[in-house]
Amino acid sequence: MFSTNNSVQAQERRSRINSILRHTPRAARLPYLNQPIPLDRWATSASKQNSQREFYAEFAQMVRQRIKGEVYGQDFVELFNKWGSYPYNINGYIKLALKSANSDLSYSDEIEVTLCDCGHWEEDSEVVEDHDGDSYCMACAEDLVWAYTERGNEVRMHPNDAYYWDSDDAYHTYAEPEEDEDEDEDEDEDCEAEGAHRLRSWGSSTGSLNHDTNTPIPMGVELEVACNPNYLDDCISNAERTFCRNNNGMLKRDGSLPEDYEFWGFEIVTAAKSLQHHIKVFGEWEPDSALRAWQVPDACCGMHIHVDSKAFTAMSLGKFIAFINNDYNTQFIKGIAGRHARTDSKASTYAATSHTGDALPAKALKGSHHSRYRAVNLVNLSYQEMRRLKIENVSRDCKGNYSTVELRIFRATLKKERLLAQIEFTHALVTYCKVGAYHALGHEHFTAWLRTGDGAPYKHLRKWLGITVPKQRAGTTAPRPTAEV
C-alpha cells in the first residue's frame, strides 16, 4: 500500500510536469516522450561537462608550457584535432579558448592555428589552399595534386577536378587535345574495355531524359558502380534494361571512377522522378553478379541524390543544411550513408561538412560554400533560385539547365536494404525540414517524427533504423511537430 504522503507527492509531481508541458511549445517536445531535447548535449550532460573540463585543463597546461617555450604550435594542432574529432561540438570551445590564450601571450608567442575546410586544425604556416581557395591541413593536402594551367603555372587541385595526360604523365587543368591521326584513335579504342563505347561522356546533359517535375519533391539519383572490364558489356546491358527504358535514365563515364584492368566504373543517372518511382525501379533491379559498389577499393563509388530546388524554401533549406552538418548527427548519418567526412578522410575530400554545432538555418545559408565537394552541394542552383533561397557568394557551376540541391554523403551500395533506405532518407529529410522546428534538428527529433503517420511512406528507412511503430488506438492520433516553413 502507498502512504497518503507518497500519493500527495506523486500528484504534485504530475501537476508540475503538466504545467511544464502546457507552457512548452509542441515543436520543442518529442512525440511520445514529451520532453525538450537541447542540441548542445556537451553543456547539458554531466559526462560531457567532465570532458569539457578535462579539455580545458589539458589546454591550460599546454599554454603554461608554451609561455616557457616548451611546446609549439603543432602540439596545439594535435590537441585540437584530438578533441575536435569528438562526436559533439567542441570547435566552438576551442576557438574561445584559443582567443583567451592569445590575449595572455605576447604577439611573437601567439598560437597561430586555424580550423581548415577539411575539418582539421593546422598551423597557419602549414595550411594549404587549392585552386578554389579551400583550405587543407598538411595530411589532407596529400590528396591534392599539382596541375598545370594553360599558361604553364601550377596549382593545387583535387584529382577529380584535374585532367591526367598520359602523354607527359602529369595533371592539367584542362583536357588533353585529341589526336587527329586515325592510328592513335584505333590504339585508344583497343585500350578500352568492350562495351565502354556504349557509355555517354561524363559531361553529357540529362536534359533529354523524361523528367517529371510535377511531383512535389522531384529527385534524381547518380549511383556509381564498377565491374571487371571483362564483364562491362553485360553489366551495361543489365543496367540499361532497368534504368534506361522510356528514356528514364542514362549510363555515363565518370572521371573519378577507375578504368583499368581490375575495375571499370560507370554512373547510373536517373531522370528527376518521384520517390515512389525510384523505390519501385531500384527495388525491382537485380544487379548483374559481376557488378560492385561497396567493394571497390578506396571507397571511390558514391551515390549522389539531386533534389529539385523548388522543393525547398529558404528556411527548409537552411534546416536541411544544418541537420546534415550538425556534429551531433555524425554517427546517425554515418549509419545510413556508410561514411562521414568527420570519420573518413577520403569522404572529406568529396563530401566535406561545412558547419558544426546547432547552426541556425539563416546562418547555415550564409555559410554555404562555393565548392561542389560538400555534403550539401549548392553550385547547381540557378542564380534565380539562389536569390529566392537567400544563397550568397556561391558561383553556379553546372553542366546542364537545371537547378538542384545535391546530397553527396552516401557511399554507393548494392545492398537493397541500405540503398532504398538512403533514397528514402533524402526525401524524408526534405519533408521533415518543412515541418520540424529549427531547434529540433537532432536525429532523435527526426526519428521520432518517422514514428508518426508522416513517416509511413518511408518503410525501408524505418526498417533500416529499427523503428517499430506501435499500433494506434482507434480515434487517436500521434502529436505532430509545429510547421515552420
23-66 pLDDT tens trace: 544 434 333 333 333 334 344 456 666 777 777 788 888 877 77
pLDDT at residue 415 in the model = 94
pLDDT at residue 15 in the model = 65
d(CA 182, CA 253) in angstroms, rounded, equals 23
Question: Contact, 392 vs 385, CB < 8 A?
Answer: no
Residue 400 domain-assigned (yes or no):
yes
At 121, which helix (H) or strand (E)? strand 121-123
Percent of the chain surpassing pLDDT 70: 77
Percent of the chain surpassing pLDDT 90: 38
For residues 121-149, average pLDDT: 82
From the list 213, 291, 310, 284, the residue with the least C-alpha distance to 251 is 291
For cell 549509419, the residue is 335
pLDDT of 184 strictly over 60: no
For residues 365-377, average pLDDT: 81
pLDDT at residue 126 in the model = 84
pLDDT at residue 425 in the model = 98
d(CA 223, CA 293) in angstroms, rounded, equals 9
Q: Which amino acid is residue 346, in one-letter code?
A: K
d(CA 323, CA 86) in angstroms, rounded, equals 17
Question: Contact, 145 vs 159, CB < 8 A?
Answer: yes
Long-range contacts of 359-362 (CB under 8 A, 24+ apart): 359/321, 359/322, 359/325, 359/326, 360/318, 360/322, 360/438, 361/314, 361/315, 361/316, 361/317, 361/318, 361/319, 361/321, 361/322, 361/438, 362/318, 362/390
pLDDT of 92 strictly over 80: no
Residue 68 domain-assigned (yes or no):
yes
pLDDT at residue 48 in the model = 62
Please state the φ and ψ torsions of residue 185, each to the nearest 5 degrees. -65, -40
Last residue of a domain, one of 125, 142, 173: 125
First to last CA, the chain: 52
From the list 202, 285, 294, 195, the residue with the least C-alpha distance to 244 is 285
| pLDDT: which is higher, 172 or 400 | 172
Last residue of a domain, one of 100, 125, 150: 125
Q: Which amino acid is residue 408, in one-letter code?
A: R
- Burial (CB count <10 Å: 0-12, 13-18, 19+), residue 285: middle
d(CA 479, CA 129) in angstroms, rounded, equals 49
DSSP E strands, 131-211: 135-136, 145-148, 154-157, 163-165, 170-172
d(CA 210, CA 220) in angstroms, rounded, equals 11
Residue 103 domain-assigned (yes or no):
yes
User: Does 119 share its domain with 228?
Assistant: no
pLDDT of 168 strictly over 60: yes
User: pLDDT confidence of 370, banded at 50, 70, 90?
Assistant: confident
Which grid cell is 9? 507527492
Residue 12 domain-assigned (yes or no):
no
pLDDT at residue 206 in the model = 86
User: Does 229 share its domain with 90?
Assistant: no
3-state secondary structure of 200: strand
Residue 193 domain-assigned (yes or no):
no
| pLDDT: which is higher, 25 or 228 | 228
Q: Which tens digits make up the pLDDT trace of 186-222? A: 444 445 788 899 999 887 778 889 999 899 999 999 9
User: Does 111 share its domain with 253?
Assistant: no
Question: Contact, 154 vs 148, CB < 8 A?
Answer: yes
User: Does 231 share its domain with 84?
Assistant: no
Nearest-5° angle of CA 122, CA 128, CA 132? 125
For residues 121-144, average pLDDT: 81
User: Does 226 share its domain with 108?
Assistant: no
* Interaxial angle between packed helices 314-325 and 416-435, expressed in degrees from 0 to 180 and rounded to the nearest 10: 130
User: pLDDT confidence of 367, banded at 50, 70, 90?
Assistant: low
Q: Which tens digits make up the pLDDT trace of 392-437? A: 878 888 877 789 999 999 999 999 999 999 999 999 999 999 999 8
What's the sign of the alpha-carbon dihedral 374, 380, 383, 388?
Answer: negative
User: Does 120 share its domain with 223?
Assistant: no
Mean residue pLDDT of the chain comes to 80
- pTM here is 0.62
User: Does 102 share its domain with 231?
Assistant: no
User: Does 240 share its domain with 109?
Assistant: no
pLDDT at residue 345 in the model = 81
Q: What is the DSSP letter of 227?
A: E
Q: How many domains does the chain have?
A: 2
For cell 604523365, the residue is 169
For residues 292-310, average pLDDT: 89
pLDDT at residue 30 in the model = 35
d(CA 198, CA 252) in angstroms, rounded, equals 9
* Interaxial angle between packed helices 46-67 and 73-84, expressed in degrees from 0 to 180 and rounded to the nearest 10: 170
Residue 172 domain-assigned (yes or no):
no
For residues 55-84, average pLDDT: 77
Give me the domain span that covers residue 79: 42-125
pLDDT at residue 131 in the model = 78
pLDDT of 480 strictly over 70: no
pLDDT at residue 315 in the model = 93
User: Does 108 share its domain with 233?
Assistant: no
d(CA 347, CA 362) in angstroms, rounded, equals 26
User: Does 104 share its domain with 236?
Assistant: no
From the list 128, 125, 109, the residue with the least C-alpha distance to 117 is 128
Question: Contact, 375 vs 269, CB < 8 A?
Answer: no
d(CA 101, CA 112) in angstroms, rounded, equals 11
pLDDT at residue 128 in the model = 86
Residue 430 domain-assigned (yes or no):
yes
pLDDT at residue 39 in the model = 34
Last residue of a domain, one of 103, 125, 147: 125
| pLDDT: which is higher, 475 or 412 | 412
pLDDT at residue 204 in the model = 78
pLDDT at residue 412 in the model = 95
User: Does 120 share its domain with 224?
Assistant: no
Listed in sequence order, the DSSP H helices in 286-415 are: 314-325, 330-337, 347-350, 361-366, 383-388
Question: Contact, 219 vs 307, CB < 8 A?
Answer: yes
Please state the φ and ψ torsions of residue 448, each to the nearest 5 degrees. -65, -40
Residue 136 domain-assigned (yes or no):
no
At 21, which helix (H) or strand (E)? helix 4-22
